[in-house]
Amino acid sequence: MASKFPLRSTLILGITGALAVVIPLLLMKADIIDPYTTRILTMGGVNAIMAMSVNMIVGVTGQLSLGQAGFLAIGAYSCIFFNLDVGLPLPAAVLCAILVTAFAGFLIGFPVLKLSGDYLAIVTLGFGEIIRVVFINLRSLTGGPNGRQFITPMVLNEQLAFTVTTISLIVTLSFLQNFLRSSYGRAIMACREDEIAANASGINIFRYKMTGFVTAAFIAGIGGCLYVMANGFVQPKAAEFIRSIDFLIYVVLGGMGSMTGSILSAYVLTYLQEMLRFLQDYRLLIYPLILILFMLFRPKGLFGMKEFSFVGLADKISLKLRNRAKKREAGH
């Protein structure tokens, strides 16, 4: 019986993921979902991946990072560089860009992770600004302030962009949930809860914090590649401080430590920003007001530290159906 459970769990997650892709695609084919909404869903998926990246640092390792947009920019520009300048096929360029972003996280993690709290937040904020300034001045590779264009099949086909982004999101979520259930993930969370107790148990604090930081950079590299492939261009302002704050808001509202909560929050807030666009400058007042009210009445976020379980939902539905069947049999 124990061997069947992982197979059943994987099957349920696979079916749920397939439905998350197929149903919106059918609605797009029927023109029920228009291209504008399709683009919002695509960017919501990119934001959800970036929210998971931030949550890996803030919610899982217990650190505060304000420079995650810098990793997105590294991933985006690296993708263009390997494809257009080096001449690699797009899939190979994406893989190389993700690895470069993860390596950047490794290099930055050494000095950064020796700090904590507000000091870590300030240093990561500075890192994001350094990346932005470097990309502005490195005109030969980045195009300067105007950025670089990157025409891909995803730019020309909104449905393809949605499909690739959503599948990437599902795979990344599956990878993260399995990683967090592993011994490495549990060790990282032990460091978050109590570093002294974790150290006394033989856990190398710096090593596991570094693992979490590099994993977050790896995921941000995925988000950066999807961002530039879906948009068709990238500018240095992609690494701006305000972008990192947006990603942090998704995490806080979804629940620090909850990946599914961050994903839901990213989609809702991405759509909300577009929905309020007709208010022009007034949306800059209404959007923060909504966030303040939400934090007042739901300070732990949508899910807190809990994860939404599709397997658990399937079990509840199955149990209700069985109970109804038993009642009908008893009635007869």
pLDDT surpasses 50 at 45? yes
The verdict on residue 304 lying in a domain is no
Q: Averaged over 127-134, what is the pLDDT?
A: 90
pLDDT, position 2: 40
Cα(323)–Cα(332) distance, integer angstroms: 14
pLDDT surpasses 90 at 331? no
Q: Which of 187 and 2 is assigned the larger pLDDT? A: 187
Helix (H, G, I), strand (E, B) or coil at 148: strand
Q: Averaged over 135-151, what is the pLDDT?
A: 89
What token pair was written down for 75?
A: 């991933």
pLDDT surpasses 50 at 4? no
Q: Which of 207 and 50 is assigned the larger pLDDT? A: 50
pLDDT, position 266: 92
Number of domains in the chain: 1
One-letter amino acid of 115: L
What token pair was written down for 6?
A: 């992982």
pLDDT surpasses 50 at 3? no
Q: Which residues lie below 8 Å from residue 3, measured CB to CB, with a gap of 6+?
A: none
pLDDT surpasses 80 at 287? no
Distances (CA, A) of 65 to 82, 111, 115, 171, 329: 28, 14, 11, 24, 58
Contact 178, 10 (CB under 8 A): no
What token pair was written down for 98?
A: 């993700």
The verdict on residue 48 lying in a domain is yes
Closest CA to 301 of 264, 247, 246: 264
CA 50 to chain centre: 3
The verdict on residue 20 lying in a domain is yes
pLDDT tens digits, one per residue of 238-257:
888 888 888 988 988 888 88
pLDDT tens digits, one per residue of 68-112:
999 999 999 999 999 999 989 999 999 999 999 999 999 988 888
The verdict on residue 123 lying in a domain is yes
Q: Averaged over 143-160, what is the pLDDT?
A: 90
Q: Where are the beta strands (DSSP E) in 50-196?
A: 148-149
One-letter amino acid of 164: V
Q: Averaged over 303-314, what is the pLDDT?
A: 70
Closest CA to 254 of 313, 300, 193, 189: 300
pLDDT, position 8: 66
Break the chain down into helix, strand, coil percent, rounded to 5: 80, 0, 15
Enclosing domain of residue 215:
8-247
Q: How many CB atoms lie within 10 A of CB 168?
A: 19
Q: Averaged over 326-332, what is the pLDDT?
A: 71
Q: Which of 271 and 276 is assigned the larger pLDDT? A: 271
pLDDT, position 9: 67
Cα(21)–Cα(165) distance, integer angstroms: 10
Q: Averaged over 305-322, what is the pLDDT?
A: 72
pLDDT tens digits, one per residue of 175-202:
888 888 888 888 888 888 878 888 888 8
The verdict on residue 261 lying in a domain is no
The verdict on residue 266 lying in a domain is no
Cα(329)–Cα(323) distance, integer angstroms: 10
pLDDT, position 311: 66
The verdict on residue 260 lying in a domain is no
Cα(122)–Cα(116) distance, integer angstroms: 10
pLDDT band at 278 (very low <50, low <70, confident <90, very high): confident
The verdict on residue 124 lying in a domain is yes
pLDDT, position 102: 95
Cα(73)–Cα(248) distance, integer angstroms: 16
Distances (CA, A) of 228 to 44, 76, 98: 14, 5, 13
pLDDT, position 204: 84
Q: Averaged over 221-243, what is the pLDDT?
A: 92
Cα(82)–Cα(1) distance, integer angstroms: 47
Q: How many CB atoms lie within 10 A of CB 196?
A: 8
State what percent of residues in the chain have pLDDT above 90.
36
